[in-house]
Structure 1
Amino acid sequence: MSWLVFPLIITASFMLTWILRRYALSHSLIDLPNARSSHTTPTPRGGGVAIVLSFLTAVLALFHLNLLSSEYLAALLGAGSFVAINGFWDDHRDIPARWRLLGHFLAAFWALYWIGGLAPISIFGLIVDLGIIGYVVAAFFLVWMLNLYNFMDGIDGIAGIEAISVCASVALLHLLEGDSQIEVPLLLGCAVLGFLCWNFPPAKIFMGDVGSGFLGMTFGIFTLQAAWVSSDLFFAWLILLGVFIVDATLTLIRRLLRGEKVYEAHRSHAYQFASRYCERHLPVSLAAGALTMMWLLPVAFLVVDEKLEGIVGLLVAYLPLVLLALKFRAGDVEVR
């Protein structure tokens, strides 16, 4: 595949975002600031459609070039499209939470049917094969990835910077291991980069549920697909996604322990407290990318290079993130 396709995808995503911004403005698809918002300016939403269309067009091209299997294509295209349509509709008019969740699980099981569920995972040389139960575990993982990405898309640029840093890190991992099969994550990173030009602080458009849900589901599929290649690569993906996984999961657990309604909007993630402390979004969004590239990538490399056991690497990578999230009060009660 020609490397010229990558700037082409960036350009396509950039132009599509510009068109979507004009559409959102003309149809009053605006996020208005409220007590639960981290922004203060009314901003158009729904720009994530550009990411979805650019990336799915690119993977279709990969399939026609025989660079992508039909099963992998079906998982990405089917689940991604369903989640994106669900999110697009929710961006236009709110869908009740129970119906959104049902849609999320349907998309998850669709993806799992094509990728074969949860692969057997090697932990200290012991092969853990959950069989049919693995489908249930993997479904909850995909739905949580979808929702946590939505929760973490709360300040300008953070979701895009996280996606690009993870995709770039995975591509670098493959290159360091002498594997040139980096097209799919790089294409996603390029699709996000075109959008990020408009979402970089101060944002001119938000990706909305259509974009954040799509990215969460897609990263979840990437992670589960990697497990079929090797357990080390599976753990590497989990490590690289650590900034979002740790903050969102720790916040959820602490709110659950207090008996709060976790499906209600809030501003108690660590990154939200940090952005209020800094009084700016940019330092926090850049910090998310820096943590991925400068801390999580080296640990992931040690795992993929078999210098570190996967589960040990995961714990080593996550421990400082947990401490950092607690320092910035992840899941604390917000005092107004």
Structure 2
Amino acid sequence: MIWLVFAFAALASYVLTGTLRSYALKRSLLDTPNARSSHTTPTPRGGGMAIVIMFLGLILVLWHWGSVDEPLAFALLGTGSGIAALGFADDHGHIAARWRLLGHFVGASWSLFWLGGLPPLVIFGALFDLGWTGHLLAVFFLVWLLNLYNFMDGIDGIAAVQAICACGGAVLCYAAADSSGLALVTGVPELLLVGAVAGFFCWNFPRARIFMGDAGSGFLGIVIGVFALQAAGQEPRLFWSWLILIGVFVVDATFTLLRRLLRGEAVYQAHRSHAYQAAARRFGRHVPVTLSVALIDLCWLLPWALGVAAGRVDGAVALMIAYLPLMGLCIWLRAGAAERV
């Protein structure tokens, strides 16, 4: 049954994305290129709402059938719909950054309430319960994931590929962890998200005929964060697996932000200094960069994440090893460097 639902999610998302593209063209909801864009032609935006509608709709159905736990369903439905609505409104008309950020913190707090906060984590082999400090850090973690996904959604297919690889890899990690007889999450919501993103991906790669928009990218960021925290509540080491799986986005966005902060730049201003943007300029195309991200996810990060899930390597140690080459790429591509005028 779950594979039928998966196929339905992909097909319906594909159809709905095409409908949203027609809507955006009629309303002139276009992303117009500027000096800091990675695109050269005006392109419709807001296609990520197809992902949102299909995923949340099916989560509601599966919760009614008893296939998704109530706390997770309420966290996803409340936070996901709120963040998507905020992003959709911003796609249609500018919303001040302070109000967007307030909405992000409210959405993150809602999901943490239903998940029960940050679960105890295994750090270098020891179990730590951070209490209220951990819950506060978890809120910032969710808000950061939401925003870094917005930052990283800048070339054709990259945000969709990251979501597909991370969620698909997480399902494999759940299976690896479950081999020891642990009672773990089923991975059903993650598979549904893969299906919904795959339908949109067909319109966004290899040449973007519609962009995801803030509604879709912010939604993916916070939903992935919710998945990571929920999985950690079942088995603490799975939190490290999730951090490894999304390493390309975490390292690029964090490295770039810190370098710009140290230089005194306004981090909320649009720019083209991420590593993936520099790589796209070097190649002169988006396709090789997006495919490279997929290869890094599947051939480098996934094996480390699986090793952590199976208990064969410490999560913190694996994270540092997995992230080191990614930081090297950021340095080589001069991520966060001052842009030439």
Which range, TM-score by smaller chain?
over 0.9
Equivalent residue for 1:207, pick from 198, 212, 223? 212
CA contact (8 A) 2:152 2:159 kept: yes
SS at match of 2:122: strand
Q: Which residue of 1 aligns with 2:240?
A: 235
Q: Which residue of 2 aligns with 1:226?
A: 231
Q: Which residue of 1 aligns with 2:33?
A: 33
In 2: Cα distance, 1:305 partner to 1:172 partner = 10
CA contact (8 A) 2:2 2:188 kept: no
1:169 paired with 2:174, answer no
Counterpart amino acid of 1:327? W
In 2: Cα distance, 1:105 partner to 1:182 partner = 26
1:92 paired with 2:92, answer yes
Counterpart amino acid of 2:22? R
Higher mean alpha-carbon deviation, 57-66 vs 16-25, is at 57-66
Q: Which residue of 1 aligns with 2:295?
A: 290
1:73 paired with 2:73, answer yes
Provide closer, same or farther for how the CA distance between residues 312 and 21 of structure 1 changes in structure 2, counting only shifts above 3 A. same
Equivalent residue for 1:188, pick from 162, 175, 193? 193
Counterpart amino acid of 2:6? F
TM-score (norm 1): 0.98
Q: Which residue of 2 aligns with 1:312?
A: 317
Equivalent residue for 1:262, pick from 256, 262, 267? 267
1:221-268 Cα offsets, whole Å, 9 max, x none, are 111111101121110000000000000000000000000000000000
Give unpaired runs (5+ residues) of structure 2. none
CA contact (8 A) 2:111 2:226 kept: yes
| Cα deviation, residue 182, structure 1 | 2.1
In 1: Cα distance, 2:65 partner to 2:314 partner = 36
Q: Which residue of 1 aligns with 2:128?
A: 128
In 1: Cα distance, 2:175 partner to 2:139 partner = 30
Give unpaired runs (5+ residues) of structure 1. none
| Cα deviation, residue 180, structure 1 | 8.2
Give every structure 1 segment of 4 or more consecutive aligned residues whose post-TM-superposition deviation is greater than 3 Å. Answer: 175-180
SS at match of 1:205: coil
Higher mean alpha-carbon deviation, 1-10 vs 302-311, is at 1-10
Counterpart amino acid of 2:103? G
In 1: Cα distance, 2:185 partner to 2:71 partner = 20
In 1: Cα distance, 2:213 partner to 2:324 partner = 30
Q: Which residue of 2 aligns with 1:103?
A: 103
| Cα deviation, residue 325, structure 1 | 1.4
CA contact (8 A) 1:30 1:44 kept: yes
1:45 paired with 2:45, answer yes
Counterpart amino acid of 1:192? V
| Cα deviation, residue 286, structure 1 | 0.9
Counterpart amino acid of 1:42? P
Aligned length: 336
1:5-55 Cα offsets, whole Å, 9 max, x none, are 111110100000000000000001000000110000100000000000011
Equivalent residue for 2:282, pick from 277, 280, 305? 277
How is 1:145-164 mapped onto 2 (pairs within 5 angstroms)?
Answer: 145-164=145-164
Q: Which residue of 2 aligns with 1:249?
A: 254
1:54 paired with 2:54, answer yes
CA contact (8 A) 1:231 1:310 kept: no
SS at match of 2:35: coil
SS at match of 1:10: helix
Q: Which residue of 2 aligns with 1:7?
A: 7
Counterpart amino acid of 1:310? G
- Sequence identity of aligned pairs in percent? 57
CA contact (8 A) 1:149 1:215 kept: yes
In 2: Cα distance, 1:162 partner to 1:96 partner = 28
In 2: Cα distance, 1:195 partner to 1:122 partner = 36
